[in-house]
Amino acid sequence: MKKELKIPRIKNGTVIDHIPAGNAVKVLRILGIHEKTTYVVSVAINVKSKLGRKDIVKVENRELDPHELDKIALISPKATINIIRDYDVAEKHKVELPKEITGIVSCPNPTCVSNANEPVNSRFKVVCKDPPRIKCYYCEREPDDIAERII
Amino acid sequence: MSFFLIRMNFKGKDVISIKDFSKKEINYILEYSKKMVPYAKGEKYKDILRGKILSSLFFEPSTRTRLSFDSAMNRLGGRIIGFSDPSGTSQKKGENLADTIRMADSYSDVIVIRHPHEGAARLAAEFADAPVLNAGDGAGRHPTQCLLDLFTILTEKKSISKNRIVLLGDLKYGRTVHSLAYALSMYKAELTFVSPKSLRMPKEVFDECNELGVEPKQTTNLEKAIKDADVLYATRIQKERFPDPAEYNRVVGSYNIDNELLEKADEDLVVMHPLPRVTEISHEVDTTKHAVYFKQAFNGVPVRMALLSLVNGGML
């Protein structure tokens, strides 16, 4: 029997697969895709897969830069990025956290200078890639709730 | 270790966290600090920082740190501008730290900053071309205190590595003890942490010590801990760091170091304290040979002279 797709295939664009179930909206936030986006975006949440439930995001007619997408490893270190051209997977990447994360997560320390009225973005050094652990560049505090701290 | 073996270049380097320095660099700073002692006492004079200006920006109260930086700069022939109370500055008008730093950077050759926000010195270093020395950032780091503590242990005990060192008091909020535990672990000193249960050393500090191959002991019993210790490093329980005043009232006065307690310790035990003290050390201890906390406070001068000299590139 032919497998039925929950969201249709896209002709050209980017598919982010293997997002942990329930995290697709956070992935969109990390990518800066919000309600006023001009992209055509499909989101599937709680899709059955061999490894349990997962989320999928499809962005039509835009090839997102895989390095830019590495940031989503913060909340889904096992996500894969597929660049689609003419319905075929032209490129496939596994996300990998960069050494530093800037302007995506807020520091959990209320007295950290990055939370004060200063012209700087939050900045974290990546201590461990999987499971993701990050340390504030300014105050050295490690957030234990990264997903909740996404700006 | 010989000071003349390798001359290290620290010119322009920021001093933000003790973790930014290797053991080799720390050894170099400590050896150079030893050479500064007669200059710090005023027995010798050399104006190697003549024509240099230090911006001393104290957004939080300080006695020893500020005065010893001022003394250090003056002893080397440099000059100081700055403030010890931000209420008379543009911060009151809402100016952010970055702008204050840009301004100070254009007026001076080196910046010393104490600020209530953790990470403030790191931020200052981003906005300044001049080297920035962290004189304490909130409950965060205080690297010059850490260096003078190491210097005191080195000069009192002739070595840092072979000592059994007890860190006592507010180990949760105390900024000096976190850096010190890390630095002492670099030297593989034997560490015991003594505190009330609610003020125990954070897990991250234990983890850092473990990563450096040291496994600190933890106890609430001071008497037992000091029995065969070489150094007792006491800290004040800092009221200003407690989010809950009731918690402060529960733990203040948990420990008191007096002559009766010290009778149970090794006669060579030295008692250190970053000061100010409140009730942790009885005044009767001041005149015993155990007390080195006033010498420790003096040591802030040669160590800070060494740092100011090194980051400005003016060498003895």
Q: What is the mean pLDDT, run by run of 10 residues, along chain B of 316 residues?
A: 65 96 96 97 97 97 95 98 88 89 98 96 98 92 96 97 95 86 97 94 92 96 96 89 79 89 96 93 97 98 98 90
Of A116, A137, A142, the CB nearest to B122: A137
Which CB contacts under 8 angstroms, 24+ apart, belong to A84-91? A84/A9, A84/A10, A84/A11, A84/A12, A84/A13, A84/A14, A84/A15, A85/A12, A86/A11, A86/A12, A87/A9, A87/A10, A87/A11, A91/A66
Q: CB atoms < 10 A from the CB of B64, how many?
A: 17
Sole residue written with tokens 């652990």: A133
Q: How many CB pairs under 8 A join A and B?
A: 54
Q: In angstroms, what is the C-alpha Rg of chain A?
A: 17
pLDDT at residue A4, rounded to an integer:
61
B143-297 folds as Rossmann fold (3.40.50)
14-43 of B, contacting A, C-beta below 8 A: 17
Q: Which of A59-68, A84-93, B230-239 has the lowest mean pLDDT?
A: A59-68
* Model pTM score: 0.89
Active site residue B93: yes
Mutate which of B20, B118, B141 to disrupt the A interface (most A C-beta within 10 Å)? B118
Minimal-distance CA residue of chain B relative to A140: B119
Residue B290 contacts residue B270 (beta carbons within 8 Å): yes
pLDDT at residue B2, rounded to an integer:
44
Q: CB atoms < 10 A from the CB of B257, how many?
A: 25
pLDDT at residue A131, rounded to an integer:
87
| Residue B247 to residue B225: CA distance in whole angstroms | 25
**Amino acid (1-letter code) at residue B153:** I
At B63, which helix (H) or strand (E)?
A: none
pLDDT at residue A2, rounded to an integer:
57
Cβ separation of A138 and B119 shorter than 8 Å? Answer: yes
Active site residue B41: no
pLDDT at residue A5, rounded to an integer:
64
Residues of chain A in contact with residue B94, where contact means CB-CB under 8 angstroms, are 117
| Residue B310 to residue B287: CA distance in whole angstroms | 35
Residue span(s) of chain B under CATH 3.40.50.1370 come to: 18-140+299-312, 143-297
Residue A147 exposed, middle or buried by CB count within 10 Å (0-12, 13-18, 19+): middle
Active site residue B115: no
Q: Is B140 near chain A, with CB under 8 Å?
A: yes
Report all structural domains of chain A as residue ranges with CATH numbers, in order of start.
13-94 (3.30.70.140), 100-149 (2.30.30.20)
Active site residue B142: yes
194-223 of B, contacting A, C-beta below 8 A: 204
Tell me the pLDDT band of A57, cut-offs 50, 70 and 90: very high
Is B18-140+299-312 a CATH 3.40.50.1370 domain?
yes
Of A119, A139, A142, the CB nearest to B119: A139
Of A113, A117, A142, the CB nearest to B118: A113
pLDDT tens digits for A37-48?
Answer: 888 999 999 998
CA distances (Å), B210 to each of B17, B248, B287, in order?
19, 29, 37
Please tell me which residue in B13, B52, B65, B172 is annotated as part of the active site. B65
Tell me the pLDDT band of A130, cut-offs 50, 70 and 90: confident
